[in-house]
Every structure is written in C-alpha cells, then in structure tokens.
Structure 1
C-alpha cells in the first residue's frame, strides 16, 4: 500500500525573522555566479523552439514530471508553455504523463532540464530586450526546505528572486506549507508586488497536489494581483 505523504515538519513556526534582511540584501546586490553550461544549452534550445513567437509564454518552474505543464498547455492553448526542472529523473517521466493526458495536447509545450537560478537570469535578459513576452509564471509545489537553517534555499529568499520578478510579476505559487506562501508574499511586498493567498480548489494539477489532497492535507495558492504588476 502506498504511504500517505508526510506533512511538513519544521522547527520554524512563522515567517523567518531574517527574511526581510535577506530579501533586501539581494535587492541591492548583483548575482554574479557563472551560468551552468547545461542550463545555457537548455535555454538555447528553448530559444530555438520559440523561434519568432510573439505571443504569450508561460513558465512552469519546478515542473517535476511536467503534468502541470500539460495542464497549462490545455488551459492556455494560445500560449507557449515552458516547463523547467533540475531533475532528469523526473523529466524522463514526462512522456508517460503526456500519453496519459485526458485531452489531446497540442504542440505548445516543452520541458527542459536546467538550474532555475540560471534559467531565470537568462530569461530576464530575454525580457529586457523584448524577445519574450512572459505573461505568467507558475511555481507549483517547490521544495519548501522547511528547516529554519534552510531559508536561503527557498526561492523568495534566494539571489535569483530578483531575476524571477524581472521575468514577470504575474506569479502563481502553490504549497502545502502555508508559511512558505506567507514568506513569499512578504518578499513580494518588499518588491512592491501585491498578492493574495487562498486554499487550492479544483482538480489537482501535479502528482504532489494529488497526494496531499487525497491524504487530507490543505494545499494553498498565492496569486499576485494585477495592480501589483507594473509590466
């Protein structure tokens, strides 16, 4: 019998006391880490795939097996969906999920193996020169790194957060750990972006979400608000 997914266990009960200082530090510094070669190659492949596309591009960050990428491709048939995950093992399962998709999937979705810390920086440069129109970014069930000492491994407390926002401020984040979204919301506020948090409703869009909901866990979603998007 398959075990139910464990609930978040953490020694941190609220928003991390250092979060504001961490976010402000990265707000006024430059991320100079060299771009990993495999990520550059994946980004070049994404650029080639998009070609001269002038329409909407939706990013599915931490896409895992890419089930959510397929859901997005069905929900936004007139957009191009780019799924990104660092795990080759997870992405190798994407073909299975594509075959199991309940609806026919048009050729508007691709998944790429890359380090998002680098991929976001490369995308931000593309946006700057107006080559990509990133209309939405989804970060569904990222690793929450719930230990207090792991705070800077969370996307909103990482140096890549500034590049993430530079790509698009229309962002949806989901997690089964409410504190993660509360921290993400605070990090957004520090950058002048408003958002709201609510319980997830509707059909699950990732294997994680399906397991969490079937085990009785509450899942949460954060959505940025239109008046917080200055793009």
Structure 2
C-alpha cells in the first residue's frame, strides 16, 4: 500500500488493485487478472457490539446476477427487526418489505427479508458501513452483493471534495479501477481503466453530482461512463453507487475512497 491508500495484492490465482480509507475502516479491491473480473470489500471488525448499536436508517446499493441493480433505504430498530424499500431499480419495478436480523459482538450481520432473501455481512467498527451478500440462493438463481451506509444530516456537495480512487464491477463483465477529482461544488473529472479484460485503454470523463442532506448521491456520467445513484458516508471518505439504466445493456455497482492526504 502506498501513502495515498492505494493497495496492491498479488496472489496465486488472481491479482488485485484497490484502496483503503484513511482510517483503515474499509478496503475495496478489484481483480485485475484477465477473464476473472470481480469486486471485493472488507471492513475493520468491531468489538463489544450489541443489537441496539445498529439502530438507524441506512442508504443501500445492491447488485445481483439477474442482472439487476437498485438503490434504497434500510431501517433497523436495534431490536432485531427492520424494513427495506427500493426507490430506484434497473428493473423498473420497486419493492419493499420487512426483515429480521441479528448482530454479533464483532459486527457479523445476518438477516432474512420478507421477499425470501437471506443476507450475511459485516459492519465496520463505527457501524457507518455495512457490506453484505445473499447467503442463500433464491429460486436457485439470485445471488447478490450490497453495500449500505448510515444516513447523515446537513450534508451537501461540499462533503465530496478532493481526489478519490474508484473501483467498480460492470455487467460486461469487467472490473474498473480509476481516479477522479471532485470540486466540492457538484463537478468532477477523472480517468478509469477496465481491469481483468484484454483492453488496455483508459477512458476520461467528467460530470456533475448532487448530495442530499442525508447523503444520497446522484451523478450524471459516473466515472465509468454511466449515471449513478448511491450514498456517501457523513465524513465524505467513502461512497457506493449503482448504475440502474439498463437501456444501454450495461449496469454496474461501484465504490470510491478518498485518497489519504
């Protein structure tokens, strides 16, 4: 890892590139090995958590192998029950429902949604970020991956300011690694590259973004070239987003981490 948080890994079967948040709470990587694109995420394990610590409302982004992507909110009551609701979906059909969940003292999260999805994942140490996946097949087909972040307050475009690393997975399929600079006023520009493919081309792009007071993120022309919706953490150091526009036959799930200064 270099001084900006950029992270490299070389393994027996796959190589990766990614980034870590400045506080070490979140690491995201993409597989750069040809023919095996992937996006992976890890969080720092907390200790001494109780179920009550999870209470709150969270933004989430979700991608599954239908393929489909969505953005919405999850509300946890801190007592093992909650609700979830999609507000944007690539399928054009919005769903909502209830869930029951448990939380271990070291942050392991398990849940069952009213639509039959069984989820498993982990919170980071301050419970600002949750990464999770569908731990059992639904109808023997649907598998998915999601990222959630606790909602903030009084946030704005100024909370997204500086240089970021960008990591994503596109339906093509392909992994993406890139960098972009956000001006804190609703504009950004950057450079990205398809990883795990035969392409060696870099793509440049620029676009605009908005941030709601709770941290909902929307952009025109994400760094990978598509429109996006997602969220930022209250400190602006981490964001996750999905492209839900299926009209171009290419949807994606992505994350970004602010470079260490």
Instruction: Indicate whether the TM-score tops 0.5.
Output: no
**TM-score normalised by the chain length of structure 2:** 0.28
Higher helix proportion: 1
